[in-house]
Amino acid sequence: MAGLAPEMRTAEDLETPLRKATILIVDDEPANVELMTTMLEDAGFTDIHSTTDSRQAIPLFEAHQPDIVLLDLRMPAMDGFEVLRLLQEVEHEGFISAIMLSGASDKENRLRALAGGARDFVGKPFDKTELVMRIRSVLEVRLLQRELNNQNAVLEKRVRERTRELEESQMEVVQRLANAAERRDKDTGLHLKRISLYCRILARAAGLSEQACDLLQNASPMHDVGKIAIPDSILLKPGPLTPEERAIMQTHTTVGGAMLSGGSSELVRTGEIIALTHHERWSGNGYPANLKGEAIPVGGRICALADVFDALISDRCYRRAWPVKKAVEEIAGGAGTQFDPALTAVFLGVVPALEDIRNGAASGWR
């Protein structure tokens, strides 16, 4: 991250913006306003606004967004303390640069002003040199603070961009890995695309958060990644598998889980869980761990429904595709044994949306 480190500007670098800083004077005595305006103009300041009515302080502040406020303490209508309190409510950067002005320069008032958020306290009558130096000092801190905030915003933007780039790179690797497994099974076609979209629809209908829906959509294509390790003689066999062959086929869950294990990202960890658990059964008779009921992670339960539905309505090397109605009836009959009964009810309510995905060739997943 060394290349992202901002270069902070020195006080000398701030001379031009300092002279262009916006200043607001709030004092009920016109003579004081005129005196301070003249002093500031003589010192090179060019953007000065003022009012003798303390009730106009907040509207002027919101209109001009001054870098510093010179605020008289004793004023009718609203005194300086009340104005300072209201400034705290409308200041968006969380940093009020206010200098309190008063002839009553006793300790109690100074402490109250500083406790209320004032950055300094100047007594009347004004000494021009002292007033200008105090204003410059507060302004330097203000402008350096703003510079720091701007640099932090730039850094945060760059970090967000880097994070997004890493996430996109990670997604590409995951998708390529899933596609590599899919291409070994010539009958699956757009299976992974459909599974990802089926899972999203089911997750949303089940009430999962939008973040969880995104995660499940992006992780579910990894469910069969372990098939990379299954021999073609078993994976592409046109007839029924022998018990020995079936045992080897079932290892694609543990192989897939092992391939994805130890991942540092939530996406890969979710893919690992789905790869391991999408063949578990609600009754506890699934594999590889014989998990039962809600001990099966919800991602695995959702992917199981999506995977079986798409498998049933798709041509396979060992059988022809089933009609959707027959596939739905088969899944409904498995509620409470093979599938989570509550999620099966959700599935039955979104079948038309799943059919739309099937008929629309599941575009959009690359």
Backbone angles phi, psi at 35, to 5 degrees: -65, -45
Q: Which of 91-105, 214-228, 290-304 is predicted least confidently?
A: 91-105
Residue 181: what pLDDT? 64
Over residues 283-301, the pLDDT tens digits come to 999 999 999 999 999 999 9
- In the sheet with 68-72, reading across from the earlier edge strand, the strands are 47-51, 22-26, 68-72, 98-102, 120-123
Q: Give the percent of the chain with pLDDT over 90.
A: 45
User: 3-class DSSP state for residue 98?
Assistant: strand
Q: Distance between CA atoms of 161 and 356, rounded to whole angstroms?
A: 35
Q: By the 8 A CB rule, do 96 and 146 touch?
A: no
Over residues 206-221, the pLDDT tens digits come to 999 999 999 999 899 8
Q: Distance between CA atoms of 300 and 297, rounded to whole angstroms?
A: 5
Q: Look at residue 328 and tell me whether its pLDDT is greater than 60.
A: yes
Q: Report residue 122 CA to chain centroid gap.
A: 45
Q: By the 8 A CB rule, do 249 and 235 touch?
A: yes
Q: How many CB atoms lie within 10 A of CB 90?
A: 12
Which of 6-10, 13-17, 29-33, 358-362 reaches the highest mean pLDDT?
A: 29-33
Q: Distance between CA atoms of 208 and 289, rounded to whole angstroms?
A: 25
Q: By the 8 A CB rule, do 33 and 50 touch?
A: yes
Q: Homologous superfamily of 2-155 in CATH? A: Response regulator (3.40.50.2300)
Q: Look at residue 8 and tell me whether its pLDDT is greater than 60.
A: no
Any idea of the CA torsion for 17, 18, 20, 25, to the nearest 10 degrees?
Answer: 150
Q: How confident is the model at residue 361 (pLDDT cuts 50, 70, 90)?
A: very low
Q: How many CB atoms lie within 10 A of CB 129?
A: 10
Q: Distance between CA atoms of 94 and 100, rounded to whole angstroms?
A: 18
Q: Distance between CA atoms of 85 and 97, rounded to whole angstroms?
A: 13
Task: Give residue limits of the domains in the chain.
Answer: 2-155, 183-359
Q: Homologous superfamily of 183-359 in CATH? A: Hypothetical protein af1432 (1.10.3210.10)
Same fold, 2-155 and 183-359: no
Backbone angles phi, psi at 71, to 5 degrees: -120, 115
